[in-house]
Structure 1
Amino acid sequence: MSTFGTYRTAYSGMYTNQAALLATSTNLANVDTTGASKVQVTSADTSTTRSDGNTAVSGVTVASITRSRNIYLDSAYRAANADSTYLSVKSGNIEYIDTLLSEYDTVTTDDDGNTETVSGVETVINDFFSAWETLSTSQSSNEDSNRVAVVTAASDLITLLTAIDGELQQLQADAVTAVEDGVDTLNDLAAQVAELNKQIVQAETGGSEASYLRDQRDALLDEMSSLVNITVTEQSNGSVTVTLGGGTLVKGDKANTLAVDGDGSADDPLKVIWAASGNEADITSGSIAAYLEDADQTGYETIDASDLPYDFNTAATSSITTLRQTLNALITTLAISINSLTTSGVDADGNAGLAFFTAIDASKPLSITNIQVNPELVSDSNKVVTSTSSASNDYSIASAICDLLSDTSLFENAGSSLNIINFYAAITTWLGSAGDTVSGNYATQAALASQLDYQRQAVSAISIDEEMSNMIKYQTAYAASARVVSTIDNMLESLLAVF
């Protein structure tokens, strides 16, 4: 190799190592920047063709300056992240429901000082039937107060169940709001990704990589994956195409918009649609999918006498709806059964018996949102029906109502006949089992997402120790190449001095 060829080789070493040092300083500057990926310089040999037709290595050059990123790990993480956030919402809502029911529980202490937690719903049911039991064994001296006690216990039962139902309705309303907010956020993120696509394509026209812009885009894509099940495909020009269940959310510098349709009621279910076409978006995971499911009121329906015995099942998409329908079935079945008895008897004055429970809005059927103790009984407890006749000490209706507590013909579950207490116990057992299942699945999925994130961070994260080591290595290599250049300069100066 000629003297000037050696000079060129040494200079190429200085140039390449200077580029590597610049990349290292960029990494160090971004070490605390969230989402920043490590930048690496890839070098390649340069060659020249000799006069004899053979090639010879003549130095080194910068082949590329790129981010350290694994697109397959990114894709796997985003899929796992969508599943994890979906399960997080489902688990959180079931946990809230369980906490809600627990707020109404009571703690009892026996003579030995042992404590026991008793379901609040079960307590008020027992109190209600206990009031009827007391009335059925009344003496004339305390019958009036016992009639009042029955009305009060019934009011307490309705108050508790409707309070729980109100909390559950609010939870579903919150789910509707969360879907609307989530869709707004997703549309905003999609628009930002489309804008970054445009900037990246422009910045990389000359062949360089816009690492900073790509990092911003990846952070947005990660955030989108927590909302819905996206698929990301990078194009040859550096832009990405983002799809959602087969529909295109982002392509190049264009973003399609999603919208929310429906109000979440059983008659007008909530759904996310493509704004342009009106077609429903296929959302299967992410927090939006979970909130869509929990907002769904399909399965909540009114019950009449022809539906008895009520068959309890958990087929509803929403666990919130399942519990709402259970409470609805409990109070409605009880009301229908008691009304059929009281309307067949007579009151204390010998008048035809009135329904014990009535609808608040008479134009609508009885339900947990439309039920009250008959106002006439509240104002005049003598109208509480306890007997089939005006005969003294006839408490046959009151006794029949007491028997409803153990009546297994009112409810069914998985082929088994249940009384009212066992019916409520069945739903709480289901709730506990469902909570354990979804909580366990969430823990597993969250661990998987964390592991995948750790793996991709191992590829792209910036390490101060590694960058300082690289800086020393590139500085040393740069200095060595510079020393070669200096040596050649001295040789040439000595040579010229001879002449």
Structure 2
Amino acid sequence: MFGGTLGIVSQGLEILRKSIDIRNRNILNANNPDYAQEDPVIKTAIPYGISLETIERVKSLHYVQQRNAQLSLVSSLDERIKNNTRVEDLFQEFTQGLGGIEYINTFFTSYQNLMKDPTNEGARANLVQSANSLVGYLKDRKRNLDTISQSIDYSMRQYVDKVNSITKKLAKLNQEILITYAQTYARGQDYKNIFDERDRLLRELSEYINIRVQEDDVGRVKVETSKGFVLVEDKFSWELAYDGANKSILWKSKDGSQADISGEISGGRLKGGLDAIADLQDYQNRLDQLAKKLISELKLPAKTGITEYYWTLNYANPTDPLGISGTITLNGSSSVIINYTSTDTLTDLANAINSAGVGFSAVVVANPDGTYTLQITSSSPSYTITDSNGMVGGRVFEGTGIADIKVAGNISTQLSNLDYSKADEFNQFSRLWWDNSKNIYQGLTNAIAGNLNSYKKQYDIENAVLNSLNAKLQEMQGVSIDKEFMEVFQLQKSYQALAKVVSAIDELIQTTLNMI
């Protein structure tokens, strides 16, 4: 009789000791944000004593997934802000109130000063200096933006490596969960503390990429991107890769094929990096647009000394009417005057010059900025060309865009052969060119400042939501130390009471044995 009773009491002591251990574990993890409170469920089974039926883990997968989705959004914004802040730091407009606009204004001021006094040697030298300074500034900004682009590429590779590392750990953890579940099935299933590590990894993964999680009855997880690309299933994990050449994220299938999932990623630092790349590309395009505009528009009045001239006005299409009437005088192997009207086109004018046969040829060319103009080539630098409206000149800048813009190689020759009679006309042209250049550059700086301000405001809003969700989760699954101490106190009292029963049984056994 005593043996059966002692066995029941001993079992009870073991269950109470285990329950106390679980409560102590709760207390020790009270400050762990990924820890979910565990409650031992003790069941009375008359006449067999008590049993540890299971261990409940207080957790809401719905709120956890909602929190992780919000974390992905906040992390995406944080990454975008970080890289846009680096861009803003490049432009002195935001720190010292000076920058590209100063270089543009200085150049056009020197241009207009020269047109007011085209014989002034100092004004000529100043034009060349300011043109070189403007080109230097634009190229410096391009190099700076390229450096940021390379830095983003490096970060994206690091983030992808981190994702791959986490998914491998989750796949391994899925195996551990299954094994420990089987090992503890008959002993209250005390294995769910492994879920804390699992949840920590899921939260960390959400910081890098948006995920969707499914949990089976055992606690293993299937992890996918929000668009359905599997990252973890059972004991297997799938890898991502970053394609720096195409600025894209690739998902690697088990059969060796790859899929571009860049458009499917909607959160995390990978999304923030992709968005920052798009922002950076926009800024680089705007800078390139400015360079192309300078190359396409800026000209100096010239009638001799060079062999390559350009029509001053640019048109969206080569078939657009010129909109003005006038004459072009070609002094080559002989002299010829070509009349043009407002309804004529660049093509008409090119045909007329080519038909003159006096040592000049013309062709309609596409400018770097996408417009069209007329290129007139002289077979001898001693030949002269004069337009009644001042519509012919030499380019101040050459190249195809920001990558190769430079001051024209023949700028010194042009300055030595200025057509003084057309200086006023070109001074008028320069006002429009100046406005166009300033507008493009101000559009660039406005985009940088506007984007950053918008992202910061959105971050503040979404981060407040994240903090609210974290607080809600902590309220639901967090540990109340006061409650846990009370539970431990009650368990210890029960443990002590049972221990006294063991002591009493021991005394009864000894007394009985002594009576024999």
Q: Same fold (TM over 0.5)?
A: yes
CA distance in 2, matches of 1:61, 1:443: 50
Q: What residue identity is the alignment partner of 1:333?
A: K
Q: Aligned ranges for residues 263-342 of structure 1 at < 5 Å? A: 263-264=245-246, 269-275=247-253, 276-281=256-261, 282-295=264-277, 318-338=278-298, 341-342=299-300
In the other structure, the counterpart of 2:153 is 176
Deviations 1:274-332 (A, max 9, x none): 2433122332211112212333xxxxxxxxxxxxxxxxxxxxxx221222211211221
Q: What residue identity is the alignment partner of 1:453?
A: N
Q: Give the SS at the match of 1:260.
A: strand
Q: CA deviation at 1:167?
A: 1.5
CA distance in 1, matches of 2:80, 2:290: 25
Q: Aligned ranges for residues 104-253 of structure 1 at < 5 Å? A: 106=96, 117=97, 119-138=98-117, 140=119, 143-206=120-183, 207=185, 208-244=189-225, 245-253=227-235
1:457 lines up with 2:474 in the alignment:
yes
Q: What residue identity is the alignment partner of 1:440?
A: K
Q: Aligned ranges for residues 293-442 of structure 1 at < 5 Å? A: 293-295=275-277, 318-338=278-298, 341-342=299-300, 345-346=303-304, 354-359=394-399, 366-377=400-411, 381-384=412-415, 387-388=418-419, 395-396=423-424, 398-405=426-433, 419-442=436-459
Q: CA deviation at 1:216?
A: 1.9
Q: Give the SS at the match of 2:182.
A: coil
Q: What residue identity is the alignment partner of 1:20?
A: S
Q: CA deviation at 1:18?
A: 1.9
The alignment yields a C-alpha RMSD, in angstroms, of: 3.3
CA distance in 2, matches of 1:395, 1:292: 49
Larger radius of gyration: 2
CA distance in 1, matches of 2:416, 2:272: 48
Q: CA deviation at 1:120?
A: 1.1
Q: Give the structure-1-normalised TM-score.
A: 0.75
Q: Give the SS at the match of 2:194.
A: helix
How many aligned residue pairs are there? 425
Q: Aligned ranges for residues 97-108 of structure 1 at < 5 Å? A: 97-102=87-92, 106=96
Unpaired segments ≥5 residues, structure 1:
49-57, 107-116, 296-317, 360-365, 408-418
Q: Do 1:132 and 1:398's aligned partners in 2 also have CA atoms closer than 8 Å?
A: no
Q: Give the SS at the match of 1:263.
A: coil
Q: What residue identity is the alignment partner of 2:458?
A: N
In the other structure, the counterpart of 2:17 is 18
Q: CA deviation at 1:483?
A: 4.0
Deviations 1:60-99 (A, max 9, x none): 3211134433222221111111111111111222222222
Deviations 1:450-494 (A, max 9, x none): 222233233444455444333222111222334455567778888
Q: Do 1:261 and 1:273's aligned partners in 2 also have CA atoms closer than 8 Å?
A: no
1:471 paired residue among 460, 466, 488 = 488
Q: CA deviation at 1:382?
A: 4.9
CA distance in 1, matches of 2:176, 2:134: 63
CA distance in 2, matches of 1:105, 1:331: 24
Q: CA deviation at 1:151?
A: 0.8
Q: Do 2:45 and 2:51's aligned partners in 1 also have CA atoms closer than 8 Å?
A: yes
Relative to 1, partners in 2 of residues 1:147 and 1:347: Cα closer, same or farther, differing over 3 Å? farther
In the other structure, the counterpart of 1:87 is 77
Q: Do 1:23 and 1:40's aligned partners in 2 also have CA atoms closer than 8 Å?
A: yes
Relative to 1, partners in 2 of residues 1:404 and 1:274: Cα closer, same or farther, differing over 3 Å? same
Q: Give the SS at the match of 1:171.
A: helix
Q: Do 2:33 and 2:474's aligned partners in 1 also have CA atoms closer than 8 Å?
A: no
Q: CA deviation at 1:194?
A: 0.8
In the other structure, the counterpart of 1:446 is 463
Q: Give the SS at the match of 1:284.
A: coil
Q: What residue identity is the alignment partner of 1:122?
A: I
Q: Give the structure-2-normalised TM-score.
A: 0.73
Q: Do 2:231 and 2:237's aligned partners in 1 also have CA atoms closer than 8 Å?
A: yes
CA distance in 1, matches of 2:28, 2:59: 18
CA distance in 1, matches of 2:181, 2:63: 24
CA distance in 2, matches of 1:222, 1:155: 52
Q: What residue identity is the alignment partner of 1:375?
A: G
Relative to 1, partners in 2 of residues 1:7 and 1:270: Cα closer, same or farther, differing over 3 Å? closer
Q: Give the SS at the match of 2:410.
A: helix
Relative to 1, partners in 2 of residues 1:219 and 1:260: Cα closer, same or farther, differing over 3 Å? same
CA distance in 1, matches of 2:243, 2:279: 22
Q: Give the SS at the match of 2:258.
A: coil
Q: Equivalent pairs: percent with the same residue?
A: 21
CA distance in 2, matches of 1:351, 1:28: 95
Q: What residue identity is the alignment partner of 1:204?
A: Y
Q: Give the SS at the match of 1:205.
A: helix
CA distance in 2, matches of 1:37, 1:259: 33
Relative to 1, partners in 2 of residues 1:397 and 1:273: Cα closer, same or farther, differing over 3 Å? farther
Q: CA deviation at 1:259?
A: 2.1
